[in-house]
């Protein structure tokens, strides 16, 4: 190609090549590579033509130089066109891929919530602390004395059969009731006493409504002139706050060695309003807790003079309350920690 006519052929070839490339081009990167291929001062095919000028007869050099320069200008324009076109193309593809349908419904979020038993515990603490109760947390391992004897349930008392006990040794056991906390509090504090004691308790009991480990909330009030009507008044507030407005309570005679008189407390059925349904088994009432006036012997066991002071006590089962409140049929659902199940139970806030 050492003359001008060879150059013209070569120029035409290069133009065709570039136009062909432009047609099939897909990316900005390809546009850049193509430009380097032709215009790079060291490796470019068009730059190479310029270098060939030395071997051209002197009288043709001017035309040669002009022709190559024209090609160079033309190619530079094509490459900048290609670059702009490819940028547009990539942007359009990106817009397409990242398109958002603003009318699409949002993905449903499942924020976690407290475990239903924790919810019930916190609600109870709210209700009773608003009445001036303080929290006392006892220990899960107890002596026979605190769990039974001091609560007027000496060895061989038939009431011990009501609570199948896990003994750790003849003296130590896993507490069967938070009532053991009553004794610790009364031994250490002079009246007036108003405590709430939440905690785990243990009984060898296992079916759809019983678990070997469950939670209770004990309440104890000791002061002058405390009577059963104080208990009833407090429990009426509790019933409305926990089970809903309009819920009332009813006391039925019962027996616990550490209270006299003792009562079972029912609430009016919050599912049917008292008319009778499957939850209340047609009676209109649901049993929720045991309570009573603190037995004089228990006060005396703790060095509190029963002539001067009297007390009331109650024990609420937390799992049972959660089961009633949220309509749970099997207590095991509260212990299995299956998030799919728990997501459906309790207040979702
Ligand atoms: N401790 C009793 C029980 O577990 C409940 C109770 C507590 C009853 C306080 C009376 C007073 O069944």
The confidence score (pLDDT) of residue 340 equals: 86
pLDDT at 290 over 70: yes
The band of 343, judged by pLDDT with boundaries at 50, 70 and 90, is confident
Confidence of residue 329 (pLDDT cuts 50, 70, 90): confident
CA 309, 312, 313: angle at the middle one, nearest 5?
Answer: 135
pLDDT of res. 288: 94
Least confident of 151-165, 199-213, 304-318: 151-165
Q: Whose CA is nearest to atom 5 of ligand 1?
A: 315
- Closest atom of ligand 1 relative to the 291 alpha carbon: 10
Please spell the DSSP secondary structure of 185-244, one letter per residue: HHHH-PSSEEEEEEEEEE-S--BTTB-SEEEEEEEEEEETT--HHHHHHHHHHHHHHHH-
Average of per-residue pLDDT across 323-348: 88
265-279 confidence digits (pLDDT tens):
999 998 898 899 988
Q: Does the Cβ of 177 fall within 6 Å of ligand 1? A: yes
Cα 29 to ligand 1 centre (Å): 80
Q: Whose CA is nearest to atom 6 of ligand 1?
A: 315
Is pLDDT of 6 > 90?
no
Mean pLDDT of 118-131: 96
Percent of the chain having pLDDT more than 70? Answer: 99
In this predicted structure, the answer to whether residue 349 has a pLDDT above a threshold of 70 is no
The predicted pLDDT at position 116 comes to 94
Atom of ligand 1 nearest to the CA of 182: 9
Average pLDDT over residues 190-216: 95
Q: What is the pLDDT of residue 223?
A: 98
What pLDDT does 2 receive?
Answer: 62
Q: Is the CB of 180 under 6 A from ligand 1?
A: no
Nearest CA to ligand 1 atom 7: 315
**Pocket of ligand 1 contains residue 290 by CB under 6 Å:** yes
Instruction: Walk me through the domains of the chain, giving residue ranges and CATH numbers.
Output: 4-98 (no CATH), 116-347 (3.30.930.10)
Ligand 1 pocket test, pick from 175, 202, 315 with the greatest ligand atom count within 8 Å of Cβ, gives 315
User: What is the structure's pLDDT at 112?
Assistant: 84
Contact call for residues 201 and 213 (beta carbons, < 8 A): yes
136 pocket-lining for ligand 1 (C-beta < 6 Å): no
CA distances (Å), 91 to each of 22, 27, 28, 100, in order?
18, 11, 10, 15
Average pLDDT, the chain: 93
CA 336 – ligand 1 centroid, Å: 26
Q: Which of 179, 196, 197, 219 maximizes ligand 1 atoms within 8 Å of its Cβ, making it the mutation to test the pocket? A: 179
Does 1 score more than 60 pLDDT? no
Ligand 1 centre to CA of 138 (Å) is 15
State the average pLDDT over residues 295-317.
98
Nearest CA to ligand 1 atom 2: 315
Residue 181 Cα to ligand 1 midpoint, Å, equals 11
Closest to 11 in 3D by CA, of 39, 46, 36: 46
Q: Which atom of ligand 1 is nearest to the CA of 216?
A: 4
Ligand 1 centroid to Cα of residue 179, in Å, is: 6
Q: Give this prediction's pTM.
A: 0.71
**Residue 4 confidence (pLDDT):** 83
pLDDT digits (tens, 9 = 90+) for 217-270: 999 999 999 999 999 999 999 999 999 999 999 999 999 999 999 999 999 998
Q: Nearest-CA neighbor of 173 among 201, 151, 192?
A: 201
> How does pLDDT run across 182-195, given as a tens digit for each residue?
999 999 999 999 99
pLDDT of residue 185: 97
Residue 118 confidence (pLDDT) above 90: yes
Q: How far apart are CA 43 and CA 295, in angstroms?
A: 105
* Distance (Å) from CA 155 to ligand 1 centroid: 18
256 touches ligand 1 (CB under 6 Å)? yes
pLDDT of 110 > 80? The answer is no
Nearest CA to ligand 1 atom 4: 177
Closest CA to 28 of 72, 74, 89: 89
pLDDT tens across 145-170, in order? 999 999 999 998 888 877 799 999 99
Residue 220 in contact with ligand 1 by CB distance below 6 A: no
């Amino acid at each position: 190609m050492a003359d001008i006519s060879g150059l013209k052929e070569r120029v035409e070839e290069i133009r065709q090549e570039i136009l062909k490339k432009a047609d099939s081009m897909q990316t900005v990167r390809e546009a850049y590579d193509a430009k380097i291929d032709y215009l790079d001062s060291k490796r470019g095919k068009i730059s190479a033509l310029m270098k060939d000028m030395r071997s051209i007869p002197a009288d043709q050099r001017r035309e040669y130089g002009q022709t190559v320069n024209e090609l160079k200008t033309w190619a530079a324009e094509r490459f900048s066109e290609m670059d702009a076109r490819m940028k547009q193309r990539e942007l359009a593809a990106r817009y397409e891929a990242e398109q958002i349908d603003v009318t699409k419904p949002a993905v449903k979020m499942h924020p976690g919530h407290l475990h239903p038993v924790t919810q019930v515990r916190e609600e109870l603490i709210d209700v009773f602390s608003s009445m001036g109760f303080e929290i006392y947390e006892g220990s899960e391992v107890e002596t026979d004395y605190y769990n039974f004897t001091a609560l007027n349930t000496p060895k061989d008392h038939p009431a011990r059969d009501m609570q199948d006990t896990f003994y750790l040794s003849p003296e130590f056991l896993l507490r069967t009731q938070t009532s053991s906390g009553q004794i610790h509090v009364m031994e250490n504090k002079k009246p007036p006493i108003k405590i709430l004691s939440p905690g785990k308790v243990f009984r060898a009991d296992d079916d759809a409504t019983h678990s070997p480990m469950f939670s209770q909330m004990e309440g104890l009030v000791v002061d002058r002139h405390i009577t059963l009507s104080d208990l009833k008044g407090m429990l009426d507030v509790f019933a409305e706050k926990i089970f809903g407005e309009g819920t009332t309570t009813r006391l039925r005679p019962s027996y616990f060695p550490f209270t006299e008189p003792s009562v079972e407390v029912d609430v009016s059925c919050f599912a049917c309003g008292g008319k009778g349904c499957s939850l209340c088994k047609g009676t209109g009432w649901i049993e929720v807790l045991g309570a009573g006036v603190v037995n004089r012997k228990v006060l005396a066991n703790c060095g509190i003079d029963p002539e001067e002071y009297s007390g009331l006590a109650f024990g609420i089962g937390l799992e049972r309350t959660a089961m009633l409140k949220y309509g749970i049929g099997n207590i095991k659902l509260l212990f299995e920690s299956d998030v799919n199940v728990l997501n459906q139970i309790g207040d979702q806030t």
